[in-house]
Amino acid sequence: MRRASWELRILSWNLWELRGDLAALIGAAEDLQPDVLLIQEAPRFVLPTARLQWLARRIGRRVLLGGVGGRGLAILVTDEVAAQVIRRGAHPVAQTVSDLNSTYPRGIAAVRLSVPGGGAVVVAATHLALQEDNRQRHAEHLAALVRGAGAPVIVGGDLNETADGAARRFLAPLLRDPVDDADPAGHTFPAASPSRRIDAVLVTDGIRVQDARAVHSTRTVEEARLAGASDHLPTLVDVSL
| Identity of the amino acid at 53 | Q
Q: Tell me if 239 sits within 8 A of 122, measured CB to CB.
A: no
pLDDT in tens, 39-90: 999 999 899 999 999 999 999 999 999 999 899 999 999 999 999 999 999 9
Q: What is the pTM of this model?
A: 0.96
CA atoms within 13 A on the CB side of 174: 21
**173: cis peptide before it, omega within 30°?**
no
Kindly give the confidence (pLDDT) of every residue in the chain, 241 residues in length, as a single tens digit, with 9 standing for 90 and above.
345 689 999 999 999 999 999 999 999 999 999 999 999 999 998 999 999 999 999 999 999 999 998 999 999 999 999 999 999 999 999 888 776 656 678 999 999 999 998 999 999 999 999 999 999 999 999 999 999 999 999 999 999 999 999 999 999 999 999 999 889 999 999 999 999 999 999 999 989 999 999 999 999 999 999 999 999 999 999 999 9
C-alpha distances in angstroms, 44 versus 49, 66, 68, 186, 191? 8, 9, 7, 28, 22
What domains lie within the chain, and their CATH numbers? 7-240 (3.60.10.10)
Residue closest to 93 by CA, chosen among 148, 47, 151, 144: 144
Which three-class secondary structure string do you get for 87-104? EEEEEEECCCCCCCCCCC
